[in-house]
Amino acid sequence: MKPSVEQLGNLLALQRDERPEEGYWQGFLCEFHQTQRERVVEKSGLMNGLGRISAWFSDLGPSKWAYGAGLAYAAVTVAFFLTPRDVEKENTPASPVSYEVVSPPTPPAVEQLNQLDLSPSTQGNIGEQVF
């Protein structure tokens, strides 16, 4: 005998009151605020670091271009060595393919062509329009 869906629902509903112990949320809020403060400090520290680097770079004057070029050269070199080489692909053996070449069907002769008036008076000259 199986429990009915309603009986099952009643059993499951007993877990509806699942709650943390008393005082849990006070501790939770303290931890939450602590984590948020740490994140703000971390973020501002990162922003300060980036600000300092950009300030130092702009204070360098004309030599910053030399530094920039050096950094770019280093980045390209590192990228070159880190890029994986192409793995040689195995040559798959060629297998002969046989197929029948079907010759294109010959178009039916246009009989009407003979009926066309191709006399010099109606042809006109090349590049000229005859009105």
Instruction: Give me the phi and psi of 61, to 5 degrees please.
Output: 75, -145
Q: Does residue 73 interact with another protein by CB under 8 A?
A: no
Q: Does residue 49 interact with another protein by CB under 8 A?
A: no
Q: Does residue 23 interact with another protein by CB under 8 A?
A: no
Instruction: Give me the phi and psi of 76, to 5 degrees please.
Output: -65, -45
Tell me how far, at minimum, the Cβ of 26 lies from another protein, in Å: 10
Instruction: Compare residues 47 and 53 and give the one whose CB is closer to another protein.
Output: 47
Q: Does residue 46 interact with another protein by CB under 8 A?
A: no
Overall residue count recorded for the chain in this entry:
131
Angle 19-23-29 from CA coordinates, rounded to 5°: 95
Q: Does residue 14 interact with another protein by CB under 8 A?
A: yes
SS3 content of the chain, % helix, strand, coil (to 5): 60, 0, 40
CB-CB neighbours of 49 under 10 Å = 10
* Binder among 22, 23, 33, 95 for another protein (CB under 8 A): 33
Widest CA span in the chain: 111
Q: Does residue 60 interact with another protein by CB under 8 A?
A: no
Q: Does residue 12 interact with another protein by CB under 8 A?
A: yes
- Contact footprint for another protein (CB under 8 A): 1-3, 5, 8-9, 11-20, 25, 28-29, 31-33, 35-36, 39
